[in-house]
């Protein structure tokens, strides 16, 4: 009898290959490769205007790249027609937009609960739990226009996490927060990755936020670069003799 084949390495949850993006014939980035495993937290740094937000939009299928591919959990998101793509996003993605994109006529709680409602599984208890986690429980009934930038940022984060997505794309999610609140937000993202096996791609300018990631990469016009030793290596087993 044949032996069982060796277990194949799990495919990455996110596989971006040779992605190239132009706007009006002007190159933003080219040859971007990015693989992120389940349970992995990756931070992307890069100069302003290098295309970090554009890259996240292309990964989510909200923008179209000129070349390359994006697979999420084995699905080529760029090959899906728009309605299927929207359904795929609802089920698998949590997106923290840099500009928040909250709906102005909905209360904080209704904004946060929207991803659950769109999947026909409203869950007020879960909405309360996530609002509590971002420290906004007292503001659940308020309209977005009455909130500060930092509060809106936490609404955007709560909305991205409420449905426990497999892949979290977070665009500068701590950009408007004081250090203590930023730390709390990073704890929340980290918990979602470590305890629930989600994958997270975090775009940030904050070295403190990036230091929470498993890997730190830098987006450049010609591709993704590894940032060597972004922070002191965590304590771990000593190298084996002979290594």
Positions in the binding site for Mg ion (CB under 5 A): 52-53, 98
Applying CB under 6 A, among 1, 7, 10, 48 the residue interacting with ligand ADP is 48
Q: How many residues bind ligand ADP (CB under 6 A)?
A: 10
- Dist CA 188 CA 55 (whole Å): 23
- Regarding 51 and contact with ligand ADP (CB under 6 A), the answer is yes
Work out whether 173 is an interface residue with ligand ADP (CB under 6 A): no
- The set of long-range contacts for 29-33, using a CB threshold of 8 Å and a minimum separation of 24, is 29/54, 29/55, 29/219, 29/220, 29/221, 29/222, 29/223, 30/221, 30/222, 30/223, 31/68, 31/222, 31/223, 32/68, 32/219, 32/223, 32/224, 33/223, 33/224
Cα distance between residue 160 and residue 153, in whole Å: 11
Residue whose CB is less far from Mg ion, 28 or 130: 28
Please, what is the minimum distance in Å from the beta carbon of residue 48 to ligand ADP? 4
Query: Of the two residues 31 and 53, which places its CB atom closer to ligand ADP in the complex?
Result: 53
**Rounded to whole angstroms, how far apart are CA atoms 150 and 138?**
15
Point out the residue whose Cβ comes nearest to Mg ion. Answer: 53
Q: Residue 51 touches which of ligand ADP, Mg ion, none (CB < 5 to 8 A by kind)? A: ligand ADP
- The footprint of ligand ADP on residues 27-46 (CB under 6 A) is 28, 46
Tokens of 36: 């992120």
Least distance (Å) from ligand ADP to the CB of residue 234? 28
| 196 touching ligand ADP, by CB under 6 A | no
Ranges within 2-31 binding ligand ADP (CB under 6 A): 23, 28
Non-local CB neighbours of 58 within 8 Å, separated by 6+ positions: 19, 21, 64, 65, 70
Please report which residue ranges of the chain form alpha helices under DSSP H: 52-60, 82-92, 108-118, 124-133, 149-161, 179-196, 207-210
> Which residue among 15, 37, 50, 62 contacts ligand ADP (CB under 6 A)?
50
52: contact with ligand ADP by CB under 6 A:
yes
Options 22, 27, 49, 191; binder of ligand ADP; rule CB under 6 A: 49
C-beta closer to ligand ADP: residue 20 or 50: 50
Give the footprint of ligand ADP on this chain (CB under 6 A): 23, 28, 46, 48-54
């Amino acid at each position: 009898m044949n032996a069982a084949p060796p277990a194949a390495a799990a495919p990455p949850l996110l596989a971006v290959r040779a992605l190239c993006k132009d706007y009006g014939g002007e190159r933003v980035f080219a040859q971007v490769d990015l693989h992120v495993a389940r349970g992995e937290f990756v931070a992307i740094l890069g100069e302003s205007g290098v295309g970090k937000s554009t890259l996240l939009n292309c990964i989510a299928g909200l923008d179209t790249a000129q070349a390359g591919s994006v697979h999420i959990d084995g699905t080529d998101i760029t090959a899906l027609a728009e309605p299927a793509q929207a359904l795929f996003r609802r089920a698998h993605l949590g997106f923290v937009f840099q500009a928040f994109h909250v709906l102005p006529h909905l209360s904080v709680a209704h904004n946060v609960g929207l991803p659950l409602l769109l999947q026909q599984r409203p869950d007020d208890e879960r909405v309360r739990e996530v609002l509590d986690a971002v420290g906004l429980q007292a503001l659940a009934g308020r309209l977005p226009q009455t909130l500060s930038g930092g509060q809106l940022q936490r609404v955007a984060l709560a909305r991205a996490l409420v449905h426990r997505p497999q892949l979290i794309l977070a665009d500068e999610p701590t950009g408007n927060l004081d250090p203590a609140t930023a730390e709390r937000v990073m704890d929340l993202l980290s918990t979602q990755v470590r305890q629930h096996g989600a994958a997270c791609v975090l775009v940030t300018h904050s070295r403190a936020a990036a230091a929470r990631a498993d890997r730190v990469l830098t987006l450049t016009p010609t591709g993704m670069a590894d940032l060597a030793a972004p922070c002191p290596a965590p304590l771990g087993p000593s190298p084996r003799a002979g290594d």
